[in-house]
Amino acid sequence: ERHLLAASPDGSRVRFVHALTREALYESVTPPRRRLWHERAAAALMEADSPDPDAVAFHLQHAGDARAREWLVRAADRAQRAYAWLTAADRLRSATSLPASHADSDDERCRLLFRLARLQRFSFPDEALDVLDTTSSLARTLNDPVLTFDMLFQRGVLLGYVNQFRAGI
């Protein structure tokens, strides 16, 4: 009667007519209960044959689940395959801000940050340089000469993108 919900033509789904209604109801739920709802939603989505990694990651992040990082990387992989590089970069940025769940986290974090810099190279070369500079010191501590060289090379390319050709060479 109040037109708060609208049903799909087949009656299988409903949605809130106005986003503020949904937001007000969401905010009225206590945070622990919201986390539980997000946890349940993520579990239900993960049971699907081919779950949407963005949706799963969203719910895992809001549930405070450590698996969110893995699903954010999956979402970045999918976005990168679709040439949605800025979306992929956003997912990687979110993934690297979360704590890692296993022992080789420095190596994984370094590689994700390097990938983030490469994804930003055309749209935001200055930001990519900042990410690469941060990542370079981490790469040196890992004693990975190939990764360190690749980062040095990419830094030179990025410097060319921001019209600092002499420094890039």
DSSP, collapsed to helix, strand or coil, labels residue 83 as coil
> pLDDT tens for residues 91-138?
999 999 987 765 557 888 899 999 999 999 999 999 999 999 888 888
CA distances from 165 to 10, 84, 131 (A): 60, 28, 19
> pLDDT tens for residues 35-94?
999 999 999 999 999 999 999 999 999 999 999 999 999 999 999 999 999 999 999 999
Please report the pLDDT score of residue 99 as a whole number.
78
Could you tell me which residue, 22 or 104, shows the higher pLDDT? 22
CA distances from 168 to 12, 34, 152, 159, 161 (A): 58, 49, 9, 5, 9
DSSP, collapsed to helix, strand or coil, labels residue 5 as strand
Residue 127, Cβ neighbours under 10 Å: how many? Answer: 16
Residue 89, Cβ neighbours under 10 Å: how many? Answer: 25
CA distances from 124 to 129, 140, 161 (A): 9, 24, 10
Please report the pLDDT score of residue 62 as a whole number.
96
Mean pLDDT of 132-145: 86
Please report the pLDDT score of residue 132 as a whole number.
92
Q: Nearest to residue 96, comparing CAs of 115, 83, 113, 82?
A: 113
Assess contact for 64 and 91: CB atoms under 8 A: no
Residues 6+ apart with CB under 8 A from 59: 38, 39, 41, 42, 45
Please report the pLDDT score of residue 37 as a whole number.
95
Assess contact for 55 and 44: CB atoms under 8 A: no
